[in-house]
Structure 1
Amino acid sequence: MSTEGRSAEPASATSALESAGFVRLVARADGDGLAASGLLATALDERGTPFQVTVCRTVADRTERVRTPTNEGDVTVVVGTADAAADPDDLVRLAATDRPATLEAVDLVREIGATPEPVLALAGVVAGGSEPGAGESEWLLEIARERGLLEQRPGVAVPTADPIDGVAHSTRLRAPWSGDLDAAREALSDAFDGDHDGLDADDRRAIGSLVALDAVGADGASDAAAETVGRAVRPYATPDAPFETIGGFADVLEALARTDPGTGTALAMGHDVCDAALDGWRAHGRRAHAALADASTGRYDGLFVVGIDDGPVEAVARIAAATRSPEPAVLAVGAGEAAIATRDAASLGATVEGVARELAAPQQEADAATGDDSGIDVAYDVGHRRGYLRYDPDVDDSTIIAAVRNLL
């Protein structure tokens, strides 16, 4: 196992793509990975280079895909980490875990002489856990502004024209009515009469204020909730993009990466799949908030544990870290899978890989004793400020918690 992949040097990556007869894009299954692969796919399409995009949930899935034989002249670009043993000459890695993969893709797209689409790039940056315009993405924000592709306005960062629909299903914040459209409409009725076509700046400001008050004042809200809401209000609106705001676009990409990567890939490539994308996003938000509402919790030094019976563990971990956890890291544990999310910028690669090794060790010992070489049913993934684990459902939750605590 190896989560700390190394990215290709720009010159070699550029040369490989410029001479490729066919490119396989193998992407990590998160919003950042979808945006990165979409930027690269669009650039390849503009150059007339045939390509194929595959979204893979774990390092093992990507490694297997990378190891699949290719034809002469083919190049594989892997967005996310893959096993270091799988390192053929025709492999380009976008594998950094200390910055969004989208920024690596932007660099590569520019190196091959194409222009990255700034709104998609900024959505990928947000999905990767960074702020639009912060650090390396500042120039993307400036370009989008100069082209009139976005403007900052009052309100909340949601993908839909109907702000109540947006906040009810958003996984970028949590309030007492999250996941329940009717409850959200009732709670915010003083600020919104249902006519989203007639919304002005004062209406949007009133909605943003009520959402902020409900989110920060909710039972169980952590100190981090105020900062989270602060990032969600006064969004960057995107009048010509498929969704209303940069943050909303990012939320949709995050949802589709786990629930419907085919639609997510089409969306990132600019195809008109908005209705299907929003349907998937709404379902994902409802499941995440319902799971968090019914979750059990436990607090340890530096770690907040959320146990759920059913639901998207990665979204639950991310929401809890942003709005509920008194600790900087959250472990969401479900049936046979778990996710780690952190508010810190430190990479989780070593932690997640180490937990995977600990979970696999007993099975490895048993297989060695019996001569069974059928393999270890433990898989993992790591991205910017997040990690994912898939394992035997018979493994006790306490085993996962202990392993994470030991290595975090």
Structure 2
Amino acid sequence: MSTTGRTATAAPDAVAATLREAPFVRILAAADGDSVAASGVVARALDCPFQVSVTRTAAERERRVAAVADDHPSDAAATLVVGDDADGPALAGRETPASVTAADVARELGASPDPVLALAGVVAAGEMPGAGESASLLAAAEDRGLVERRPGVAVPTADLTDGLAHTTLVHADFSGDPTAAGAALADLDLPAERDETARRAVASLVAIAASGGDDTPPRAAAAAERALRPYATPESPFATLGGYADVLATAAEAAPGTAVALALGHDARDGALTAWRDAAERAHRALREATTGRYDGLFVARYDAAPVATTARLLRDFRSPEPVALVVGDGEAAAAAVDDRTIGAAMRAGADAVGGEAGGDGHTGYARFDPDEDDGAASPDTKEFIAAFRGAL
């Protein structure tokens, strides 16, 4: 697998032509919200049997392809890779969110894509709804009354305490702690029926809490924007577009089967919310309790129980003083950068040094390896992985 993230996304009409003629389609999605949403958009437009799987490394993807080939040996079966580079059709999702391109593929196949699912993928990719090529999706959703912008904060549930405590769109003092989130809201003395003034007060609370700390990097304010002035989604499984994206992104890592079921339109809301809450609590706890190290251009956090990809994204946006954040858990690691730093290639170098496997692109990456035990301290393999990753940046 190429890990540079520079291979161009295939043209939607070319992808559609390949999928249209296939008797069976295997879709292999990267473990992120945009890729999973894009996979759901395409899968819902297919007229043939399909299988959607979430893969995190090149080796895992190859194993999935081989397993499906055993069950469907026809050479005519098609494989669509979403979120990574590939030899065949691929929706890379970096220059343009994969969900936007997936919607174009669905139209080429004669289907009407779900604009809310596709826009949730756009938000999960770190973009604002309606930005760039997603403008037509937002217009379609607004025309059909599927989204409505309002003041406030983007959370997936009607329970604001639950939403603020578990959102991974921001990190603040109350993050991961429902009691602390409830106390912060109580201080606002909100009315029982929240009007626009009350919603703005909550938004101000979140904006200040997420970006005003002494150890908060300047980029935190921009990152927190994704959580403010949300689009309400009354016909979606979740209360807001940003909340939908948040659940997809965390579930893609913590409960990929549930995330895929959600993107395919199945009743997976409760399971997805359970995965979201658990992953959020572990990620926010990791940001507070991790063992950290700062290097030139790199900030490293070690915490065994971390959902590494979710934690790396939060670390980059809300805590890292360096442009690259690396989170190392128990036998796995993830990195996130503010721009293209060939992260995928660096993750592969780190994995190769310890006999592991990796995947990623220029901005994000993931590695899996089997660390030696060392009484709770950083194992020799963990140290070697970090050193190799640093050397490859």
TM-score, reference length from structure 1: 0.87
Is this contact kept in 2: 1:128–1:384, CA < 8 A?
A: no
User: Corresponding residue for 2:334?
Assistant: 339
Letter in 2 for 1:398: K
State the secondary structure of the residue aligned to 2:349: helix
Q: 1:119 to 1:303 in 2, by over 3 A?
A: same
User: Corresponding residue for 2:183?
Assistant: 186
Partner Cα distance (1:134, 1:96) in 2: 14
User: Corresponding residue for 1:25?
Assistant: 27
Letter in 2 for 1:309: D
Find 1:392's aligned residue among 349, 358, 370.
Answer: 370
User: Corresponding residue for 1:107?
Assistant: 104
Is this contact kept in 2: 1:129–1:384, CA < 8 A?
A: no
1:118 is displaced (CA, Å) by 1.0
User: Corresponding residue for 1:402?
Assistant: 387
User: Corresponding residue for 1:319?
Assistant: 314
Is this contact kept in 2: 1:66–1:78, CA < 8 A?
A: no
State the secondary structure of the residue aligned to 1:188: helix
**Is 1:80 the counterpart of 2:86 in the alignment?**
no
TM-superposition CA deviations, 1:33-84 (whole Å, max 9, x none): 210111011111xxx32212122222211122223423334222222336x6
Partner Cα distance (1:258, 1:20) in 2: 29
1:194 is displaced (CA, Å) by 8.4
State the secondary structure of the residue aligned to 2:330: coil
Aligned residues: 380
Superposed, which structure 2 residues align to 1:172-321 within 5 Å?
A: 172-191=169-188, 195=192, 198-321=193-316
1:230 is displaced (CA, Å) by 2.6
Partner Cα distance (1:126, 1:296) in 2: 30
TM-superposition CA deviations, 1:321-348 (whole Å, max 9, x none): 1111122210112222111111225653
User: Corresponding residue for 2:377?
Assistant: none
Q: 1:232 to 1:9 in 2, by over 3 A?
A: closer
**Is 1:3 the counterpart of 2:9 in the alignment?**
no
Letter in 2 for 1:349: G
Q: Unaligned regions of 5+ residues in structure 1, if any?
A: 361-376
State the secondary structure of the residue aligned to 2:89: strand
Is this contact kept in 2: 1:23–1:76, CA < 8 A?
A: yes
1:260 is displaced (CA, Å) by 1.5
User: Corresponding residue for 1:58?
Assistant: 57
1:356 is displaced (CA, Å) by 3.1
Greater alpha carbon shift after TM alignment, 98-107 vs 324-333 = 98-107
User: Corresponding residue for 1:132?
Assistant: 129
TM-score, reference length from structure 2: 0.90
1:193 is displaced (CA, Å) by 5.1
TM-superposition CA deviations, 1:256-276 (whole Å, max 9, x none): 111211211111112222122
Partner Cα distance (2:213, 2:294) in 1: 19
**Is 1:161 the counterpart of 2:161 in the alignment?**
no
Letter in 2 for 1:181: P
Find 2:42's aligned residue among 40, 43, 46.
Answer: 40
State the secondary structure of the residue aligned to 1:281: helix
Partner Cα distance (1:334, 1:396) in 2: 12
TM-superposition CA deviations, 1:149-192 (whole Å, max 9, x none): 11221111111111221011011111111101011101221225
Is this contact kept in 2: 1:98–1:345, CA < 8 A?
A: no
Letter in 1 for 2:2: S
Is this contact kept in 2: 1:24–1:75, CA < 8 A?
A: yes
1:384 is displaced (CA, Å) by 7.2
1:219 is displaced (CA, Å) by 4.9
Q: Unaligned regions of 5+ residues in structure 2, if any?
A: 373-379
Partner Cα distance (2:177, 2:63) in 1: 40
Is this contact kept in 2: 1:36–1:105, CA < 8 A?
A: yes
Partner Cα distance (2:254, 2:260) in 1: 12
Q: CA RMSD in A?
A: 2.2
State the secondary structure of the residue aligned to 2:28: strand
Is this contact kept in 2: 1:331–1:340, CA < 8 A?
A: yes
Partner Cα distance (1:278, 1:342) in 2: 27
